[in-house]
Amino acid sequence: MHINVIGAGLAGCEAAFQSAQRGLKVYLYEMKPQKKTPAHKSDTFSELVCSNSLKADRVESAAGMLKEEMRVMNSLLMECADQCRVPAGGALAVDRDKFSAMVTDRIRNHPNIQVVEKEVLNLDEFIQDKDGITVIASGPLTSESLSKSIQEKFGGALSFFDAAAPIVSAESIDMEHAFTASRYGKGDGDDYINCPMNKEEYENFHRELVNAERAPLHDFDVNNPKVYEGCMPIEIMAQRGEDTIRFGPMKPVGLRDPKTGHRPWAVLQLRKENALGSMYNLVGFQTNLKFPEQKRVFGLIPALKNAEYYRYGVMHRNTFLNSPKILNSDYSAREYPNLFFAGQMTGVEGYMESASSGLLAGMNAARRALGMETLTMPETSMTGALSRYISCPEVEKFQPMGANLGVLPPLENRPRDKKERAAAYAYRGLEDIEKFLSLSGENFKPANIQK
């Protein structure tokens, strides 16, 4: 048996390395240098297309916890990132050229990896490859022909554009200024949290919203007609008139504020985002505002004054699967057990999240090729929680997700202090993942925890 990996990005390089380290012959297909996506510029692998920051490094944070789990699991990308770091306060930032060159060098010189420089146009040959297991890691800007082939195989369950509303933590919503109810009393009472505003609050909010600073769009986003159709950003809709959003996503009809006994002037509804009820989505608030502006302007809604954001709203091109209907938590496809997916395509979001899914997909592809059971990490670990989040069959309206503490199961003894809480989540997850790896016979390094 051999392993095919499509795409030498963050997920693909990590997947190829993990399979190769387990003794399998790996064919890594990459369309560079002949063809590049609109965001990729260099000829090297694992290119960081935008920021050079891999986010927080402190183990006692969601992003730091994920990175430490990857170190525990012998991640190639973490090893290279640690060697290419540049000063960035509490974040792990890297010299992007050095990082990408180092990953490329390790991949090209691995005795078990053969790089195949060509664009993969179709999945058929991989589905028919009876001696191979394939990991598809062609990223958010997967080339057109391959996207089409994936779409055909998976019944059209592929999105090409991410127009997402922000997601906030349930515990940060000020319930003194909010109430649970569904419109006209229909459905489950606690499915929605309503954030009412009076006339003065609404007018102030509206003024700030239309004047707030927006994020620049890439050329390939500006030219995408979907940006301003179907999923119009809230700030663009607000520009059409002072009352437009009050008759749209913020309409107060069918709702009565129990505190005043009246219908509010305007209402933002928050909808439960996950089964745990730890995250809520701002309904109809897809936005292209800069992240600090989202916090400032949406914070003018009284219930969101101190809201903690698990994910900010974004509007950009992003190819991702409807994974809850397609993937298992080991990143294999339900319909095609010899196909695995990895990276941003699966609906994990971010550089290291993509790499971590590549790590698991590469490890599991190798395990399947060797006739071993595939593994899903414990739900208390960030890698395990993310793989469960993207593959949870109950999720209706799937949106990509990065590492955050809201995807983890609640703590038994939950510290009140935020920092202590983050530490408790991280230590629990890292201890569980070490125990799990030790029982499953996988090689691992002990976590670097300094309590």
Ligand X SMILES: Cc1cc2nc3c(=O)[nH]c(=O)nc-3n(C[C@H](O)[C@H](O)[C@H](O)COP(=O)(O)OP(=O)(O)OC[C@H]3O[C@@H](n4cnc5c(N)ncnc54)[C@H](O)[C@@H]3O)c2cc1C
* Residues forming the site for ligand X (CB under 6 A): 6-12, 29-32, 37, 39-40, 49-51, 119-120, 137-143, 146, 218, 343-345, 350-351, 354
Strand ranges (DSSP E) for 198-333?
266-272, 279-282, 309-311, 314-321
In whole angstroms, give the CA distance from residue 261 to residue 255: 10
Encoding tokens for residue 182? 């569904």
Paired with 269 in beta bridges are: 194
- State in Å, rounded, how far the first CA of the chain is from the last one: 44
3-state helix, strand, coil in the chain (%, to 5): 35, 20, 45
Q: Which residue is nearest to ligand X (CB)?
A: 9
Whether the bond into 225 is cis, omega within 30 of 0: no
Smallest separation, CB 425 to ligand X (Å): 20
State phi, psi for 262 to the nearest 5 degrees. Answer: -115, 165
Nearer to ligand X, 317 or 368 (CB): 317
Contact by Cβ (8 Å): 145, 124? no
Encoding tokens for residue 52? 């050079």
Nearer to ligand X, 139 or 284 (CB): 139
Paired with 194 in beta bridges are: 179, 269
Encoding tokens for residue 331? 């990143």
State phi, psi for 54 to the nearest 5 degrees. Answer: -100, 20
State phi, psi for 95 to the nearest 5 degrees. Answer: -75, 110
Encoding tokens for residue 391? 């593959």
Find all residues with CB under 8 Å of 76, minimum gap 6, and list them.
13, 14, 17, 18, 103, 106, 107
- The C-alpha angle 280, 285, 287, rounded to 5 degrees, equals 120
How many other β-carbons are positioned within 10 Å of the β-carbon of residue 216?
Answer: 8
How many other β-carbons are positioned within 10 Å of the β-carbon of residue 156?
Answer: 9
* C-alpha distance from residue 92 to each of 68, 103, 193, 210, 307 (Å): 12, 17, 36, 35, 25
Cα 56 → chain centroid: 16
Cα 158 → chain centroid: 15
Tokens 């390089």 locate to 13
How many other β-carbons are positioned within 10 Å of the β-carbon of residue 424?
Answer: 17
Nearer to ligand X, 135 or 195 (CB): 135
* C-alpha distance from residue 429 to each of 65, 318, 389, 409 (Å): 8, 29, 16, 10
Smallest separation, CB 217 to ligand X (Å): 10
